[in-house]
Amino acid sequence: MSMEEKITVRKQKVVKSHTRQKLFFFGGLAIAVLLVAAFAPYLTPYDPYEQDLSKALLPPGNGHLLGTDRYGRDMLSRVIMGSQTTIFSALLLVVIITIVGGAVGIFCGWHGGKLDAFLMRVSDIFLAFPGMVFAIAVASVLSGGVINAVVALACISWPKYARITRSQAMMIKHLPYISAAKLSGSGTWKIVWKHIVPNIAGPVIVTAVLDIGTMIMEIAGLSFLGLGAAPPTAEWGSMMSNGRSMLQTSPWVILSPGCAIFLTVIIFNLAGDTVRDVLDPKQRKR
Amino acid sequence: MKTPLLDVRHVEISYNGRPVVQDVSFQVEPGEILGIVGESGSGKSTLIKAAMGLLGIGGAVTKGDIYYNGRNVIDAKPDEIRRMRGPAMGMIFQDTGASLCPVRSIGDQLYESVNQHEKASREEVRQRALDLFEKMRLPDGDRILNSYPFELSGGMNQRVGILMAMVLRPKLLFADEPTSALDVTVQAQVVREMIQMREAYGTGIVIVTHNIGVVEYMADNIAVMYRGNLVEYGKKEDVIYHPREDYTKRLIGSVLRVNRG
Amino acid sequence: MEKLLEIKEIKKTFYKKKIPFVAVDNICFDVEKGECFGLVGESGCGKSTIAKIITHLITPDTGSVLLNGEETLFLRGKKERKLYQDIQMVFQTPQDSFDPRRTLGDGIMESMRNQGMKKHQAKERMYELLEMVELPGEFASRYPHEVSGGQCQRAAIARALAPNPQLMICDEATSALDVTVQAQIVELLNKLREEQGLSLLLICHDLALVQKLCDRVLVMYKGGGVEQGVPDEVIQNPQNEYTKILVDSVF
């Protein structure tokens, strides 16, 4: 082979991933939404509960950015105030089902046996029901109120988490590092708490963040049906329900809370997607 | 000069702009067995993936060329390469069982892979497969063709992999760690079967493995890879018994051998 | 020689969809103090099941496991944990044997912390152990995926040495490693045996490794023991039909 033999050189396109930037962007948006909800009472330009029938059903503009409803209440203030009820009850709901479902799932996956079979059949029953119908039934039995709506939705949502954590726990408990922990003299509690929980947290957190959006919709849905927040309370679902008869004449009354739900759900879903990209074990290894 | 079956010239392979294999050149003649050895991460599997056009997303040959029978396979159109995979260049994977579809019988999948490249009836393909089983001295060819991958042992699946590659009668066969997942007794049989394929059809074989014993037993030439570079390349006897490079010496010296007295 | 570990008539049956499969059938052997005993056989022959029985990860159907003449199979709770100070194990896949979310140092210190050692004492001992397995101290703060297989296996050996065990079980501890790395680990095991008087139970499928390291070997086939003896004799003059095939298969 001679020295002047030509070697072909090719250029390679390098694809960069922007996971980190995406996380900052969508995570930032989600946190901004949460901050708005947390400080809602200080952010409202008007009192969201003050009625002034002379200003009823004003269209957007003229000092009321999103117009007013039929009692003359400022829509923007009500949407901001409503975020508190809707988002925090959704967060509370997600936290409850993550903890309850996660605990049941880890116990079943780790312990196995008859109790596992029993609890899984129970979760099957909940999964077999059409979720919303069951939630409506539970909510009407418990009568209205945000807390009761949360309880009703928790009843139908925990099995999903139990399923996820159970399969993860069953997979992890056979890995050598669990055996190694046992050989290091760690007891069952310590192994579960120190080695199993942190290692299944990733997929559970991703599911939970993705579920915030869904839960906002379901809580708003129950309230829309009159099974959630009681009337004077600013809550997106019940606000939409109040405005539905005026869709043609004063569409802003229903569009304002509707858009708020839409944007919030999209923000939490995109944030959940990026959290998944970050926590994906295949990506983390790189 | 006769064109070699496979001609790898000054190849550099990069993943996402980072070179993982650098300036590697070797040739394979028809009927030759070349063993590529090295530790995990030395780039030995990447080389045969590049030759098969299977580098995947993010991987590319950034320098040099690979010729199969005088044809450049790097700049060939994807469709052209696809047609070459099988009849021209066959491949055996480390875990054939996992590379087969679990819900269809071996015979079905065999027929499909043949049918992609040539017109053949089911009966013909079956007969050809059974002939090959006989050549490999495997009994129960019929039963194997009717079974599903999960019904067979790892060793049996690996033989099915060889069979599926050989049924298209490729001139060149790539084998990526074909025996690493197998028990020694099965490994010995699989290695002997691969040698028989070479004897029967004059197939050139490139075997990538970390098992020096296997290479010592079956290869004509050996290429030693270390951290993406080809550190030593030559006749088996030279590389194993008279290694020149420090790394090769260390590698050969680390191999534990059974002392049969 | 004094007997450290005695395995007597161990039998274990697994059930898969109620179809019984005898994984270990009437296995007897013993490991003497300071000895390296090898268990060889193909995958599925039951050799790893024996390791799991000795370390209480699986309960056998019948039989007994004696450590220093005392039955260990029925130890529970505190006494079981005490057993793990005498018997330790090194696993086949080093990376999987460490919690991916905790550092190697955490893993090595876990047993010492569980014994009630103070944090700074455990740390000191951990660095000693890392030195013993020839790893630089900075590896304590690395995660399993940040180190190579060989380095991870050294850390696993350090973890196994932490409680000062009398017996270390190596379940295919070198099979997943590159040959050059394997040679270094074998060297390390040999050194530990000489310096610490450690007894080894080596479970592997590599006859050459057994011949290099072990004083005695038991060849297993389909759950049963087929031949026992000094490795050189077993390999050079195999009596059993299966052992002959096994020896002939090695290149």
Q: How far apart are CA B9 and CA A176, in angstroms?
A: 44
Q: Does B41 touch chain A (CB under 8 A)?
A: no
Tell which wins on pLDDT, A11 or C240.
C240
Closest CA to B186 of B258, B138, B251: B138
Cβ neighbours of A28 (radius 10 Å): 12
Q: Spell out which residues of chain B touch residue C250, defining contact as CB-CB under 8 Å.
A: 184, 188, 213, 258
DSSP string, C103-114: -HHHHHHHHHHH
Is the pLDDT score of A282 beyond 80? no
In this prediction, residue A1 has a pLDDT band, given cuts at 50, 70 and 90, of very low
**Residue C82: which of B190, B238, A185, B249 has the closest Cα?**
A185
Residues of A in contact with B63 (CB under 8 A): 7-10
Chain B: closest CA distance from residue C96 (Å): 17
Q: Which helix (H) or strand (E) holds A186?
A: none
Instruction: State whether residue B64 sits within 8 Å of chain A by CB.
Output: yes
Q: CA B5, B10, B16, B19 torsion: positive or negative?
A: positive
Q: Can you tell me the mean pLDDT for A232-256?
A: 88
Nearest CA in chain B to C244: B185
- Which residues on chain C are in Cβ contact (under 8 Å) with A186? 110, 114
Q: Could you give the CA distance from residue A178 to residue A185 in angstroms, rounded to a whole number?
A: 11
Q: Which among B39, B253, B258 has the least Cβ separation from residue C250?
A: B258
Mutate to test the interface with B, among C179, C182, C243 (most CBs of B within 10 A): C179
Instruction: Please list the pLDDT of chain C residue by residue as tens digits (251 residues).
Output: 789 999 999 999 999 888 899 999 999 999 999 999 999 998 888 999 999 999 999 999 999 999 999 999 999 888 998 999 999 999 999 999 999 999 999 999 999 999 999 999 999 999 999 999 999 999 999 999 999 999 999 999 999 999 999 999 999 998 888 888 899 999 999 999 998 889 999 999 999 999 999 999 999 999 999 999 999 999 999 999 999 999 999 88
Chain A interface includes B9 (CB < 8 A): yes
Q: Which of B184, B216, B256 sits opposite C212 (nearest CB)?
A: B256
Where does C3-21+29-250 sit in CATH, by number?
Answer: 3.40.50.300
Mean pLDDT across chain A = 87
Which of C178, C186, C251 is nearest residue B213 as measured by Cβ atoms?
C251
Confidence (pTM): 0.85
Interface of A with C in 192-211 (CB under 8 A): 194-195, 198-199
Q: C251 and B217 in contact by Cβ < 8 A?
A: yes
Interface contact flag, B17 A14, Cβ < 8 Å = yes
Shortest CA gap B154–chain C (Å): 11
A141-144 long-range Cβ contacts below 8 angstroms, 24+ apart:
A144/A226, A144/A227, A144/A228, A144/A229, A144/A230
Query: Residues of C numbered 180-239 whose beta carbons fall under 8 angstroms of chain B's beta carbons: which are they?
Result: 180-183, 186, 205-209, 211-212, 232, 235-237
* Interchain pair C178, B187: CB under 8 A: no
pLDDT of residue A284: 45
pLDDT tens, position by position, C200-213:
999 999 999 999 99
Which residue among C181, C208, C232 places its CB closest to the CB of B257?
C208
DSSP letter for A9, please. Answer: B
Question: The complex's ipTM?
Answer: 0.91
For residue C114, give the nearest of A177, A185, A281 by CB distance.
A185
Give B-chain residues touching A7 at CB under 8 angstroms.
Answer: 9-10, 63-64
* Touching subunits for chain A (3+ Cβ pairs under 8 A): B, C
The pLDDT of residue A136: 87
Which of A180, A182, A199 is opposite residue C100, by nearest beta carbon? A199
Q: Which two tokens stand for residue C139?
A: 């590896």
- C-facing residues of A in 150-179 (CB < 8 A) are 175-177, 179
Which chain C residues are within 8 Å of A195, Cβ to Cβ? Answer: 99, 102
Q: What is the DSSP track for A213-275?
A: HHHHHHHHHHHHTTSSS-TTS--HHHHHHHHGGGTTT-THHHHHHHHHHHHHHHHHHHHHHHH
Domains in chain A (CATH in brackets) are 14-283 (1.10.3720.10)
> Hey, which chains touch B, using 3+ CB pairs under 8 Å?
A, C
Interface of C with A (CB under 8 A): 52, 55-57, 81, 84-85, 87-89, 91-93, 96-102, 107, 110-111, 114-115, 145, 156, 159-160, 162-163
Q: Identify residue C67 by its one-letter amino acid code.
A: L
Sites in chain B below the pLDDT cut of 50: none
pLDDT on residue A245: 87
> In chain C, what residues touch A184 (CB-CB under 8 Å)?
84, 107, 110-111, 114, 159, 162-163
Find the length of chain A. 286
How wide is the angle at C-alpha B219 spanned by C-alphas B215 and B220, nearest 5°?
Answer: 145
Instruction: Please give the span between the terminal C-alpha atoms of chain A, in angstroms, as a whole number.
Output: 39
Q: Using DSSP, how many helices (H) and how many strands (E) does chain A show?
A: 12, 0
Q: Do C55 and A183 touch (CB under 8 A)?
A: yes
Of B187, B188, B256, the CB nearest to C208: B256
Among chain B residues, the shortest Cα distance to A16 is held by B16
**Smallest CA–CA distance from B62 into chain A, residue:** A10
CA A196, A197, A199, A200: dihedral to nearest 10 degrees?
A: 110
CA dist C192 → B77, B178, C158, C197, C246 (Å): 57, 35, 11, 7, 29
Percent of chain A, pLDDT > 90?
48
